[in-house]
Chains A and B, each alone.
Chain A
Amino acid sequence: MKELIPYITLAPLAGFAINGLFGWRFKNKQIAGVIATLAVTVSFVIACGLFAEMMSAQPEHRAVHYKMMDWISVGNVNVGISYLIDQLSIIFILVITGVGALIHLYSMGYMKEDPGYARFFTYLNLFIVMMLQLVMADNYLLTFLGWEGVGLCSYLLVGFWYEEVKNGDAAKKAFIVNRVGDFGFLVAMGVMLAAFGTLNYAEVASSAAGLAAGSSILTVITMMLFLGCTGKSAQIPLFIWLPDAMAGPTPVSALIHAATMVTSGIYLVARSNILFALSPATLTVISIVAVCTALLAAIMALFQNDIKKVLAYSTISQLGFMFLGLGVGAFTAGVFHVLTHAFFKACLFLGSGAVIHAMHHEQDMQKMGGLKKYLPVTFWTFMIATIAISGIPPFAGFFSKDEILWKAFSQGSPFLWAFGAIAALMTAFYMFRTVYLTFFGKERFDAHHHPPHEVGASMSIPLIVLAVLSMAAGLLGVPEILGGSEKLHHWLEPILGRGEEIAASSLGTHGEGLEIPLMIISVVLALIGILIATRYYKQRTTLVEKERKLGGLYKLSFNKFYVDEIYDATVVQPTYAVSDSFLYKIVDVKVIDGIVNGLASTAGALSSVLRKLQTGLVQNYAVMIVIGIVVLIGYVLIF
């Protein structure tokens, strides 16, 4: 299988090239969709083959190196386009290509009417290529290539319908905010080079392992890497781009802004687990940022009316959960939640896409209701995914989220656990609110003129597959205390075990015997969330007028705590104002150019004075000569 590794990325690259160069000329534009979907499917099949081979090998022989070619080798920067397929990256590869293929298939139906059909699939394939570089790289720089590459694809796809100004704004915002994070990544690489002289994952990890825990070098590197993660994975303070990114077509939101790209940060931390485990200060920062993000985004999701906005805030919140796991040194738990979240959140987004499709591009849930009978497949798959995200056993989300919460308690603090649990309660509430507003109650739209229609096979198959996975994926990580075998833990042991050990020993563990009680509490909290939603949104339909009566909390939540406005007033506007009215109009034009032009006009003025001496009249020159002689003689006589 090893020789097939390059084709994992080459297949979608070929799809990108074919559709990009010739897509606009296809007579039957569906060909573009078929090519793109096939390309990703090829990658998925190869990945499955590799996975099977790895399963049959001994744990220590599972990792495979593959060097495709040299890239940059100058001084210490010595990196190739070379891949490392191991237990960690294969999971991400499978998710990217598997969920990716499903979403490609779904897009063939969803984008059928769009004039930019071929362009869409071109971007989508490029995204898969870049995302694979990110997770397959054996060094930080190649990961960075993918990291920026997925950012580019996100930019292109968010702004896919570029004729609308707000889409262009959202795309630009996504790219720029991400670049703030990328700045951190760059600095981290610089420090690595200065300190270790290498960018290779394995070499950096082994050099780091030789340093004492809490060394300043490691703290700087990990903090800067985490800054990168807050951009890509939408954590405080850089999460602001993700809700706006919903301006892109819905399959994009499912693939990029839920299942894959936004989890890059988790991958990066997990991949660098030794570095992070040795930086307790960074871990603390991560846990605090993560739990705040989880809670804040959950609050913001409470009263959103745009179905995709709810899911966007929910994604931010769930990413917060993943980072909470990482922050308390439970790297496997974080990865586990990436996996389950990929299934149920992709399912939710695709479901919302089906709803939007059926509602003729209406995204406001206030104008929906009663869709259950029109869209049975969509409803049931959406429902399953909702239960999964709410953390009801035995659906997938329960196991992954509960493991994170338990580790937050046992290796973190009761506060982390409590805030996380409250966020979980809110999650259950707003997700069921969404279900009820969308699928239950009276129809708040004109069903006669525009009857909603259920989606076709290319869209329903992905929904069903993802719904099944949302139910079943939890089995990979059933905790031992419930009689499970924690397959994922054993699988990832060789990669993440060392970091988890170091982190656990420095963080300490407490709360023996509380695992089951806490688990019960968190399920109860989720049920409470569901009950509140049922009471206010199913039994009676609470619409926006009544929600408004909540006053301050509603306002804060609905207006997203005014974070965008605050950034605009404190960062964007001042930067622009200073650049325009001070740097450009004063420093550049007045001061620097003023001096330049001043020198020129001084020289000009001086020469116009001197010019007066050159009158051209012989008498004047004669006078000058006489004066000159007198002065000279005087000089000689006196001295």
Chain B
Amino acid sequence: MGVLSVLILIPLLSAALLHFVKNDNAAKLFTLASTLVTFGVSLFAYMQFDSTSASFQLKENYEWISGHNISINYIVGVDGMSLLLVLLTTFLTVIALIGTWNSQSKQIPSLMALILLLQAGMIGVFCSLDLFLFYIFWELILIPMYFIIGIWGGKRRMYASVKFFIYTLAGSLFMLVAIIWLGLEAAKVTGVFTTDLMKLLAVSRSLPLDTQNYLFWAFAISFAIKVPLFPLHTWLPDAHVEAPTIGSVLLAGVLLKMGTYGLIRFNLGLFPQASISNASIFSALAVIGIIYGALVAMVQTDIKKLIAYSSVTHMGFIVLGIFSMTREGLQGATIQMVSHGISTGMLFMMFGMMYERKHTREISEYGGIAKITPLFAVFFAIAMLSSVGLPGLNGFVGEYLTLMGAFQSPILHSWWYSILGSTGVILAAVYLLWMYQRFMLGPVTHESNRSLKDLSVREIVSLVPLVIFMIWIGIRPMNFMNIPAASLNALSDSLTGKTEQPKQSEYQMMSPKVIVK
């Protein structure tokens, strides 16, 4: 058994073992130990990985459902992009556990088991190289998340959890149809119904263009809901607001990235021509999302809702980068996935810490508490600034590269996407600084807040690693971006139809005519 299967099995087995643990603390400690081991194993996987190669590595292939005309196998493997997201998942689960250690009191063993199940699903999604397997993991995630929101959530948790479930399920049904369709197309060519991604890559590109287009949309809708891409985003604020802190952290931190991951891996990978012909629609929606999400975030009075809408903005940058299909765009999108996971994850986690103390999400119930909880204020400021996209911190790298990618994109062929997208930079400062001011600065507006406690040692322990990564990615982004570089560059070059970057002089000659319209 390979390392990736171990990564999926540890949380699955641990979740099963939790059935026998009745003590809350023991359950938490066991889960922490399990996630730490998983994190360690993922680092081991990273060490085994050769980032100079664009191909899938650490592959495992076991026969699963097979007959003379059907072959659905358990195939896992990673390229740089999926490995990076696996690392994000294993890292963030540990952090989220420590950060929310005391935030829940009921049915702890079940909560822990669901979190482990969720983790297994997330790792599985990023590692699957068989579409059927991918679909199973994709759907598997819905179940623990549904229960996490539905049992440990806020007042409107039933509405939010059902909405989350049905919204995403509705999307993924399209994907299921598309997967079966693709398998049948493969059967026409090779005589065997298969969902092996590698084999389908050869099939999908030779399909008639309108078939490719239908399939593209079936996948894209399901991913766009997950991202979420405007106008399919309305499940997100409800889910975030009602979810318990750990649910929000993992939802924002990892789950949303499954959507953008899917867009790159399947939409761009399987249907390059349909991707190119639909690029402007998706980029336009991404840009609308960037601006719209920011404007709506600005007027929120509920902090979790505000952060949720800010995710719409940030994910918009990722989608814009993806559909620019340039090297800058795709690598920017990938690093932005990691960055958003870290910074938005931290914002949700920190707000959760404050919520444990004060039990309200209304911004107006706070104000001036920087004076009372100075350490909290410093950490929150760093997370906020990283979300604003300040150069030197992680958020900037991805945002910048996606915008620059869109500027240079031979697919989008217009500057307007990135020019309009760049206004998101202004708006991010507006809604985040304003939120920070109302939350933290000014005079203390509620006397009862004077007794708020500053961060505990445990909380600091959970936040420091996040801050370290914010600065690390901000200053040395290549340490992270070199992992997926080879595979993303290969993908980008195949999409934009070039084997190397344009030479300066060529671009110079064409630029005045082509670029200025």
A580–B299 touching, CB < 8 Å:
yes
Contact with B along A153-195 (1 / 0, CB 8 A): 0010001001111001100100110011011001101110111
Query: Is A593 part of the contact surface with B, judged by Cβ < 8 Å?
Result: yes
Which segment of A105-113, A142-150, A331-339 sits at the interface? A142-150
Q: Which of B70-125 contact A (CB under 8 A)?
A: none
Contact (Cβ within 8 A) A576 B299: yes
Enumerate B18-39 residues with CB–CB distance to A below 8 Å.
none
Asked whether A193 lies within 8 Å of B477 as measured between CB atoms, the reply is no
The reply on B418 being an interface residue by CB < 8 A is yes
B465 close to chain A: CB less than 8 A: no
Interface residues as binary, B457-485 with A (CB distance below 8 Å gives 1, 0 otherwise): 00000000000000000011110010001
Task: Assess whether B208 is interfacial by the CB under 8 Å rule.
Answer: no
* CB pair A194 B407 closer than 8 Å: yes
Q: Is B201 an interface residue (CB 8 A)?
A: no
CB neighbors of A among B421-466 (8 A) = 422-423, 425-426, 429-430, 433-434, 437, 440-443
Q: Once the chains are docked, how many angstroms separate the CA of A277 from the CA of B282?
A: 39
- Which residue of the partner chain, among A76, A148, A179, A580, contacts B501 with CB atoms under 8 Å? A76
Among A27-35, A213-221, A418-426, A469-477, the stretch that binds chain B is A213-221
CB-CB nearest in chain A for B433 = A172
Q: Is A602 an interface residue, CB under 8 A from the partner? A: no
Contact B478 A149 (CB under 8 A): no
Say whether A216 contacts B429, CB under 8 Å.
no
Interchain CA distance A168-B300 in the complex, whole Å: 19
Least distance between B174 CB and chain A CB atoms (Å): 15
A631 within 8 A of B: no
Instruction: Please indicate the chain A residues that have their CB under 8 angstroms from the CB of B300 in the complex.
Output: 584
Residue B516 interfacial (CB < 8 Å): yes
Judge whether B404 and A164 touch: CB under 8 Å.
Answer: no
Cβ proximity bits A528-572 to B, threshold 8 Å, 1 near / 0 not: 000000000000000000000000000000000000000000000
A186-230 vs B, CB cutoff 8 Å, 1 = contact: the mask equals: 110111011111100001000100110001110010000000000
Contact of B478 among A70, A155, A207, A579 (CB under 8 A): A70
Contact string against B for A residues 76-89, beta-carbon threshold 8 Å, 1 for contact and 0 otherwise: 11000100000000
Chain B proximity of A423: nearest CB distance (Å)? 30
Neighbour of A145 across the interface among B392, B401, B403, B440, CB < 8 A:
B392
A217 to chain B, nearest CB (A): 6
- Asked whether, in the complex, the Cβ of B504 is within 8 Å of the Cβ of A584, the reply is no
Interface-centre pick from A159, A576, A579 (highest chain B CB count, 10 A): A579
User: Which of B40-48, B56-64, B324-332 is the contact stretch?
Assistant: B324-332
For the complex, is B502 an interface residue (Cβ under 8 Å from A)?
yes
Q: Is the CB of B515 within 8 A of A217?
A: yes
Q: Tell me the bound Cα distance from A187 to B434 in angstroms.
A: 25
CB-CB contacts of B206-235 with A at 8 A, as 1s and 0s?
A: 000000000000000000000000010111
A73 CB within 8 Å of chain B: yes
Q: How many residues on chain A are close to B (CB under 8 Å)?
A: 63
Contact yes or no, A194 B511, CB < 8 A: yes
Q: Is the CB of A163 within 8 A of B475?
A: no
- Smallest distance from the beta carbon of B242 to chain A beta carbons, Å? 15
Expressed in whole angstroms, the Cα–Cα distance for A503 and B188 within the complex equals 69
The smallest C-beta distance from A593 to any residue of chain B, in angstroms, reads 4
A72 at the interface (CB under 8 A from B): yes
Q: Across the interface, name the chain A residue whose C-beta is closest to B234.
A: A593
**Complex Cα gap A69–B332 (Å):** 20
- What is the CA–CA distance of A175 and B331 in the complex, to the nearest angstrom? 28
A575 adjacent to B502 (CB under 8 Å): no
**Across the interface, do A194 and B391 meet the contact criterion of CB distance under 8 Å?**
no
- Which of the residues B299, B400, B440 comes within 8 Å of A579, measured between beta carbons? B299
Interface centre among B390, B476, B477, B511 (most CB of A within 10 A): B511
- Residue contact A182 to B425, C-beta cutoff 8 Å: yes
Q: Could you say which residues of chain A place their CB within 8 Å of the CB of B167?
A: 596
Closest to B423 in A: A183
The distance from the CB of A315 to the nearest CB of chain B, in whole angstroms, is 23
Q: How far is the CA of A52 from the CA of B300 in the complex (A)?
A: 57
Contact yes or no, A75 B475, CB < 8 A: no
Interface of A is mostly: helix
Nearest A residue to B167 by beta-carbon distance? A596
Among the stretches B1-9, B138-146, B251-259, B290-298, the one at the interface with A is B290-298
Whether B403 and A190, one on each chain, are in contact in the complex, defined by CB atoms closer than 8 angstroms, is yes
Closest to A593 in B: B234
A77 to chain B, nearest CB (A): 6
Cβ–Cβ < 8 Å partners of A45 in chain B: none
- Cβ of B183 within 8 Å of any chain A Cβ, yes or no, is no
Return the CB mask of A620-639 against B: 1 if under 8 Å, else 0: 00000000000000000000
A72, A180, A217 pick with most chain B CB within 10 angstroms = A72
The residue among A81, A164, A187, A198 with the most chain B CB atoms within 10 A of its own CB is A187
Contacts of A216 in B (CB 8 A): 512, 516
Known contacts A217-B516, A592-B234; A72 and B477 CB within 8 A of each other: yes
Q: Contacts of B177 on A, CB cut-off 8 Å?
A: none
B385 in the interface, Cβ–Cβ < 8 Å? yes
A74 within 8 Å of B by Cβ?
A: yes
B405 at the interface (CB under 8 A from A): yes
Q: Are B401 and A72 in contact (CB under 8 A)?
A: yes
Given contacts A194-B408, A194-B415, contact A575 B433 (CB under 8 A): no
Q: How far is B167's CA from A612's CA once the two chains are assembled, in angstroms?
A: 27
Cα distance, A103 to B44, chains bound together (Å):
51
The minimal Cβ–Cβ distance linking A373 to chain B, given in whole angstroms, is 39
Taking a contact as CB atoms under 8 Å apart, the answer to whether B442 and A196 are in contact is no
Instruction: Check: A283 CB closer than 8 A to any chain B CB.
Output: no
B422 proximity list for chain A (CB < 8 A): 183, 186-187, 190
A165 vs B445: C-alpha distance when bound (angstroms): 11
Asked if B443 contacts A165 (CB within 8 A), the reply is yes
Min Cβ gap B59→A in Å is 27
Contact pick for B405, options A75, A148, A189, A217, CB 8 Å:
A75
Residue contact A187 to B419, C-beta cutoff 8 Å: yes
- Is A152 an interface position by the 8 A CB rule? yes
Q: Indicate if the CB atoms of A220 and B401 lie closer than 8 Å.
A: no
CB closest chain-A residue, reference B511: A195
B512 touches A77 (CB 8 A): no
Q: Are B430's CB and A584's CB within 8 A? A: no
B445 shortest CB reach to chain A, Å: 10
A-B contacts, 21 of them at CB < 8 A, read: A71-B476, A71-B478, A74-B327, A75-B327, A75-B492, A77-B404, A141-B400, A155-B433, A172-B437, A176-B433, A196-B507, A197-B503, A197-B504, A210-B508, A211-B508, A216-B512, A217-B511, A579-B298, A583-B292, A592-B234, A596-B167
Q: Which of B's residues lie within 8 Å of A, judged by CB? A: 163, 166-167, 231, 233-235, 292, 295-296, 298-300, 326-328, 331-332, 368, 370-371, 385, 390-392, 396-397, 400-401, 403-408, 415, 418-419, 422-423, 425-426, 429-430, 433-434, 437, 440-443, 475-478, 481, 485, 492, 501-504, 507-508, 511-512, 515-516
Apart from A76-B404, A183-B423, A584-B296, what are 6 other A-B pairs with CB-CB below 8 Å?
Answer: A73-B478, A190-B407, A191-B407, A194-B515, A197-B507, A217-B515
